[in-house]
Structure 1
């Protein structure tokens, strides 16, 4: 898998989707899903490509840190 690239395959028959994986692993997970849940139907649906780090979560951590800092400032100004 190229660094910073992840793929998620969506089923064309139901609401199932693979986790973010390398392209080959996500494609195989889609094939396995169809074999188990939709036998006899060729795999379909669509592929979602994530160009950043889908496991990163750093953006959320920064948001929480800023929120906590603002709450501390607001509480200290209220006295």
Structure 2
């Protein structure tokens, strides 16, 4: 999973990264831009596995079946 923090005071948001790194970047942002405020905002969680190949295996299987079907019709 990847995490992204959004500032509650301005339009700043961290990049998608680990939870601890996103929190560190958010805290640093508040210390730099909003020193008088307690860090806040919101967190977004990307539950997608970014290392997956998507539908590529299904396309490969479909093409293989199509090839087998085409070769059997002779």
- Match for residue 46 of structure 1? 42
Moved over 6 A (4+): none
Match of 1:28, SS state, is helix
Is the counterpart of residue 37 in structure 1 residue 63 in structure 2? Answer: no
Measure the CA separation in 2 of the matches of 1:25 and 1:15: 19
Residue 72 of structure 2 corresponds to which residue in structure 1? none
Could you tell me how far apart the structure 1 residues matched to 2:48 and 2:7 are? 23
For the aligned residues, what is the CA RMSD?
Answer: 1.7
> How is 1:1-79 mapped onto 2 (pairs within 5 angstroms)?
5-53=1-49
Unaligned runs of 5+ in 2: 57-74
- How many residues get paired? 54
Superposition TM-score, scaled by structure 2 size: 0.65
TM-score w.r.t. structure 1 length?
Answer: 0.61
